[in-house]
């Protein structure tokens, strides 16, 4: 060292290091309105694969390896969707309150036959919503924290589905009708879904097939709802459901794009559907009692003329939902023959809907 050069004390050196570190820090980018999104943070890249260890977000420095954890979801391709950030923010902005945001007084004075039919439909839909509520909750703790954004989104879905259940129950009992008889075949089909232990297959069955078709059902019920309370429940639920489907399609697209043999992956999903068939019986197409209830609501009654009008609309709806299901599979990256095969299997295994 040059004897003329001033000596840097330990304190001074530490100060210099701190200044350098501060200069290298990149602060979060705020939105024009002052809000802070995850996209505004300098986060570590999403890893392709991680070890099932540790309990911290990706990129945290470590002095030693983290403890082993029972994570089963440790690969990006199995859970990630490029639209996750947008969906998380949209879910937070569009929450609604089933107690105050539905015009409950507008659900009164529905014709008895139509009200009974609404109760049949909502009882059946309620069961599907339990599946959509339970299944994401089952997997959240199995997702490695490196993919925290996925857990954040699935947590919004859990809240959404709980709210749907609350809203459906309130509408069922609004006019004193309440729950209707439960079909054993419906519960068997739902059991086949809930017993899935593989997240990729479960998401495919739930987000793409089940909830994908529920978006079509919500559209139909918005069209034929006999009262404004029911219509508003369906309008708001549809928006929630569309987010879940968007995640499922985005996740599946990520999964398929990482595969050399898309047909082989598709066969895994075919096997998942076939396994679900073992839990399903007395289900062929849209359950007949639900078809009849939809026809009564669509036609506004049980008279021959009204019922005939309603049956015609329900037949059109079944064609629409089958076409839309196949289209979602194609958008996800499946070749046409495989998309058609999966669509037909889903009709057999789940009554045409969830």
Q: What is the pLDDT of residues 253-312, one digit of tens each?
A: 999 999 888 888 888 877 777 776 655 433 334 688 998 999 999 999 999 999 999 999
Q: How many CB atoms lie within 10 A of CB 198?
A: 15
Give yes or no for a contact between 199 and 79, defined as CB atoms under 8 angstroms apart.
yes
Residue 352's pLDDT is: 45
If you search the block for the tokens 């709806």, which residue do you land on? 317
> Is residue 245 included in any domain, yes or no?
yes
For the CA atoms of 269, 273, 278, 280, what is the dihedral angle to 10 degrees?
Answer: 160
Alpha-carbon distances of 291 from 4, 199, 295, 341, rounded to whole Å: 94, 31, 6, 23
- Beta-carbon contacts of 75 under 8 Å, excluding residues fewer than 6 positions away, are 48, 49
Whole-angstrom distance, CA of residue 211 vs CA of residue 203: 10
> Is residue 223 included in any domain, yes or no?
yes
> Is residue 77 included in any domain, yes or no?
no
> Is residue 340 included in any domain, yes or no?
yes
> Is residue 44 included in any domain, yes or no?
no
Residue 353's pLDDT is: 47
> Is residue 227 included in any domain, yes or no?
yes
Residue 281's pLDDT is: 35
Mean pLDDT on 118-147 = 97
pLDDT band at 193 (very low <50, low <70, confident <90, very high): confident
Give yes or no for a contact between 214 and 160, defined as CB atoms under 8 angstroms apart.
no
Residue 285's pLDDT is: 47
Q: Classify 175 as helix, strand or coil.
A: coil
pLDDT band at 64 (very low <50, low <70, confident <90, very high): very high
- Of residues 132, 275, 130, the one with CA closest to residue 208: 132
207 or 16: whose pLDDT is higher? 207
Concatenated DSSP letters of 232-293: HHHHHHHHHHHHHHHHHHHHHHHHHHT-S-HHHHHHHHHHHHHHHHTT--S--SS-HHHHHH
Which residue range is the domain that position 314 belongs to? 181-350
- Of residues 185, 215, 195, the one with CA closest to residue 272: 195
Based on the number of CB atoms within 10 Å of its own CB, is 197 exposed (0-12), middle (13-18) or buried (19 or more)? exposed
Alpha-carbon distances of 129 from 51, 70, 103, 228, 289, rounded to whole Å: 33, 27, 22, 21, 18
Whole-angstrom distance, CA of residue 44 vs CA of residue 149: 13
Number of folded domains that form the chain: 1
| Least confident window among 16-25, 104-113, 129-138 | 16-25
Q: Supply the CATH number for residue 282's domain.
A: 1.20.1260
Largest CA distance in the chain: 108
> Is residue 99 included in any domain, yes or no?
no
Whole-angstrom distance, CA of residue 115 vs CA of residue 175: 8
Residue 11's pLDDT is: 55
Through-space distance between the first and last CA atoms of the chain, rounded to whole angstroms:
77
* Average pLDDT taken over every residue of the chain: 89
> Is residue 240 included in any domain, yes or no?
yes
């Amino acid at each position: 060292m040059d004897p003329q050069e001033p000596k840097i004390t330990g304190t001074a050196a530490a100060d210099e290091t701190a200044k350098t570190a501060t200069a290298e820090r990149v602060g979060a980018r705020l939105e024009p309105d002052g809000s802070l999104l995850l996209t505004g943070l300098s986060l570590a890249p999403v890893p392709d694969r991680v070890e099932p260890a540790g309990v911290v977000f990706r990129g945290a420095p470590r002095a030693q390896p983290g403890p082993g954890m029972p994570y089963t979801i440790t690969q990006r391709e199995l859970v990630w969707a490029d639209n996750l950030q947008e969906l998380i923010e949209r879910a937070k902005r569009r929450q609604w309150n089933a107690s105050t945001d539905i015009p409950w007084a507008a659900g009164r004075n529905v014709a008895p036959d139509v009200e009974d039919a609404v109760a049949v439909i909502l009882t059946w839909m309620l069961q599907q919503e339990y599946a959509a509520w339970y299944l994401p909750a089952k997997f959240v703790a199995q997702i490695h924290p490196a993919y925290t954004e996925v857990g954040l989104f699935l947590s919004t879905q859990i809240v959404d589905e709980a709210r749907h259940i609350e809203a459906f129950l309130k509408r069922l009992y609004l006019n004193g009708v309440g729950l209707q008889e439960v079909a054993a075949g419906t519960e068997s089909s739902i059991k086949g879904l809930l017993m899935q232990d593989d997240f990729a297959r479960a998401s495919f069955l739930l987000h793409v097939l089940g909830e994908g078709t529920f978006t079509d059902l919500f559209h139909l019920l918005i069209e034929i709802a006999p009262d404004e309370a029911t219509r508003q429940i369906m309008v708001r639920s549809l928006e929630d459901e569309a987010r879940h489907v968007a995640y499922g399609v985005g996740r599946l697209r990520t999964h398929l794009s990482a595969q050399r043999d898309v047909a082989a992956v598709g066969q895994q999903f075919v096997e998942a559907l076939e396994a679900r068939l073992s839990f399903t019986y007395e289900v062929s197409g849209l359950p007949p009692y639900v078809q009849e209830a939809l026809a009564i609501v669509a036609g506004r009654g049980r008279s021959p003329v009204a019922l005939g009008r309603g049956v015609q609309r329900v037949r059109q709806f079944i064609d629409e939902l089958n076409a839309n299901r196949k289209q979602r599979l194609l958008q996800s990256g499946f070749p046409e023959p495989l998309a058609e095969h999966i669509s037909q299997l889903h009709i057999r295994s789940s009554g045409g809907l969830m």
